Structure 1
Amino acid sequence: MSRFLRASILLMMLAACGGGGGNYSAPRQLDDACAIIRERPHYLRAMERTERRWGIPVHVQMATIHQESKFIGNARTPHRFALGVIPMGRQSTAYGYSQALNGTWEEYLATAGHRRAKRDDIADATDFMGWYMDESSRRLGISKSDAESQYLAYHEGRTGFANQSYLNKPWLMEVAKRVAARSEMYRQQLAYCR
């Protein structure tokens, strides 16, 4: 057997065993908070730590993560194409569970995170989200349990929220309402499954 063939077989075996990174797939039942935390108990531990540190309720975190990434740890924005076929890069630098942008992530690392924090780690992503929403609460007076307003500030940035840029985006206001409804659904579910 040639070296190339042996190396190829070894590489395929490693890939099949998951040798290339973490499990970034979404939980199976995204409409059931209890099922999510049964399948991924480390999600709940991470969100509870964030709630203790920043005061952002677990259900608000869950609803926001659902909207941003559907709980897919390595989620990215779609590619842009020129003339419909020439790749021009991604729509933004958003990445991970929280879809944090590069600049905002760097600000978080400099002020509240630890140097090795990663956007595709649920504990780091929820801590980032807690930091961001806590700051929105302090600067803009948004209740930490107001999932709709927190989401609008998260999506538009604090300056955009303060300038009410979302009023020109009816689609975004609908998304924020869905985030609020999901947050309430998760809150009710979590009350029974903890």
Structure 2
Amino acid sequence: MSSHAIGALRGSLRRPSRRTAIFAVASVAAVGWYLWPAVQHEHSAVAVITDGSWSAITDHVTTEVRVRGRAVSDLGTVSDWCSLAASVPSLTIDADVGFVVVAIETRGDCAGDPETAALRALSGRSIAPVVVLDTAASAPSADVRTVPIEQLLGSAGTRAMSCQWWEDCPQSGRVDVRNADGSLTDLGADRVARMVASAIG
């Protein structure tokens, strides 16, 4: 067998082990990305609860908050503030959760001030609420962190906004943040997620 053939054979024998090594490194990196927040004891975890109109932001918030070193859990959806106020005392929240992102648009049908009741109940469980404020919504009377979305999404009905530095900007210099039906685009949801992550710190 020629030296060239022997060299080719040796190369082919080495390739599987090289691919295996690359795969192993990639796997460790992927697992590490998911486990990293869990070993960052100095960072409290974050939970997210929304109503149906805000559910599109959950995945975006999860990604953005995890990138910044915190674990995230999804508490699901509720129909309105009244439902949240009623469910907070029995809501199952992991012991390491220090923040709950609350994105709810509708008040619901109940007596009193359900928004304040829900936020104070969360605070009473040593959890800091972070409230996503819809366009033109007033800040809660409770002392909590807020995320005023109008800053990056514009007023109600605004479809496009000027590009932000992290976005792939088209020649027009503007990107769609809302769809025709008023729902958020992926870029719009990403903007909300970045504001939420900044509010948490």
TM-score range (shorter-chain normalised) is under 0.3
**Larger relative helix fraction:** 1
Higher relative contact order, chain-length normalized (CA < 8 Å, sep 6+): 1
TM-score by length of 2: 0.25
TM-score by length of 1: 0.26
**Larger radius of gyration, structure 1 or 2?**
2
